[in-house]
Amino acid sequence: GDSVTQMEGPVTLSEEAFLTINCTYTATGYPSLFWYVQYPGEGLQLLLKATKADDKGSNKGFEATYRKETTSFHLEKGSVQVSDSAVYFCAEAVGNKLTFGGGTRVLVKP
Amino acid sequence: DAGVIQSPRHEVTEMGQEVTLRCKPISGHDYLFWYRQTMMRGLELLIYFNNNVPIDDSGMPEDRFSAKMPNASFSTLKIQPSEPRDSAVYFCASSAQDRVYGYTFGSGTRLTVV
């Protein structure tokens, strides 16, 4: 079946460092791609999305580009803050079924 | 809109008891999803509904689990009888047909079966 693979964490960074979280998907065709963020004790919140090849999703300084040729949707942020500490999930949607990666825990230290 | 509302936020029950989790989706959303989150297995899709009709329940772990959606504004996930391995956080999510705004998740129900 379809699956999403993202880098395992935890990822530990200093404030203002550059963050990259790799994500690849396996669905054929043109699935919609998402990044969700989960803060401690909370549900998942949509961070950004892209629905077709070469689309760039962006929000709160985070960006991800839909790369059909490499089946990837890597998340990046140029300068992280302590408040970005959370678990980040990559997901693909085929039809109306959303499949998540395993999540990457990010810890930003002051 | 208040978002997707789940209740209760926390549930502690004894093994063998029946547990019912509740979800109110966002008004106007015609898809509703139930997910389970554990450290070992991550986020698993259990079942989803479209216009109150179950579409895919292949993720429901076993017959002890059942889900219903009697109307567009309410869904339940029931576990009977509950077992310690059912301990997890259960999330409900809803989305509109066009998925323009993605899937909106509730805050989850943390279930502990002792």
Query: pLDDT tens digits for B52-111?
Result: 999 999 999 889 999 999 999 999 999 999 999 999 999 999 998 766 567 899 999 999
CB-CB contact of B97 with B50 (8 Å): no
Which of the pair, A97 or A79, is modelled with greater confidence?
Answer: A79
pLDDT at B100: 56
B61 CB neighbour count, 10 Å cutoff: 12
Inspect the interface and report whether the beta carbons of A103 and B43 lie closer than 8 Å.
yes
The predicted model gives A74-97 an average pLDDT of 92
pLDDT band for position A50 (cuts 50, 70, 90): very high
- Tens of pLDDT, residue by residue over B32-56, are 999 999 988 889 999 999 999 999 9
Angle at B53 between CA B52 and CA B56, to 5 degrees: 125
% pLDDT > 70, chain A: 99
A32 vs B45, B55, B99: nearest CB: B99
pLDDT at B101: 61
Question: B68-74 contacts: CB < 8 A, separation 24 or more?
Answer: B69/B32, B72/B25, B72/B30, B73/B24, B73/B25, B73/B27, B74/B22, B74/B23, B74/B24
The predicted model gives A68-81 an average pLDDT of 96
Q: Is residue A59 less than 8 Å (CB to CB) from chain B?
A: no
| Best B99, B101, B107, B109 residue to mutate vs chain A (most A CBs within 10 Å) | B99
Do β-strands A23-25 and A4-6 pair in parallel, antiparallel, or remain unpaired?
A: antiparallel
